Structure 1
Amino acid sequence: MVLTPQTGLVTQARPDFFFTLAEQRGIIAEVERGGTITNNHDLKDLWKAHVAADAHHLFLIVPHNNWREDGRPRERPFLTVSRRLGAFFGDERREIDVLSVHVFAY
């Protein structure tokens, strides 16, 4: 599954993993590292799942914490991503063409 000009998009976005569930139904899985929040990779991955014609579920694997050199947590992507992506569900006005998002921490 790649978004191409033939599908109306020119992003050439490629997910880390794609699994077909049925015709026109699938799961995109993305694994993120340091840029999860600072570069909005979580929102880009949600957008990728939204515009893909054959994906309706997103599995997003993010760090529990990003660490400073002295060992302290710099940021906590898991909590932030869960909150940010949860905002797209539960209100008809903000709904997108993604049926579910599952956020996992490592």
Structure 2
Amino acid sequence: MLRALTRLSNAEVPGLNAGLCEVLGLDLNRLLDAPGERFEAPAVLDSLAGRPVQTHGDALEVLDELALHLYQALADHDFDLQATGEVLAHTLGERDNYGPLP
């Protein structure tokens, strides 16, 4: 249920997939507009997926997998806000900035 509620934006707050796209340098609207289109995925996306990401649809699938992983990891930490950085790093790799993600 939580994934469904955070998939879309809410007023000024971007949805989780949009936030993940910003962190990963992807354009969510372009992915959604042409899911069958082939594209050169960023290496980090292939690495996070553990497989080649060849189409926009593949990228959307990886975004859903990453969102699920984030929620599962947060649930493992009882949704403790103090664990957010650790969960983000574990899911998306160490970064200086996670953009709009907390």
TM over 0.5: no
Compute the TM-score of the two structures, normalised by the length of structure 1.
Answer: 0.27
Structure with greater helix share of residues? 2
Compute the TM-score of the two structures, normalised by the length of structure 2.
Answer: 0.28
Q: Specify the structure having the higher radius of gyration (Cα).
A: 1
Structure with greater strand share of residues? 1
Q: Which has the higher contact order (CA 8 A, sep 6+)?
A: 2
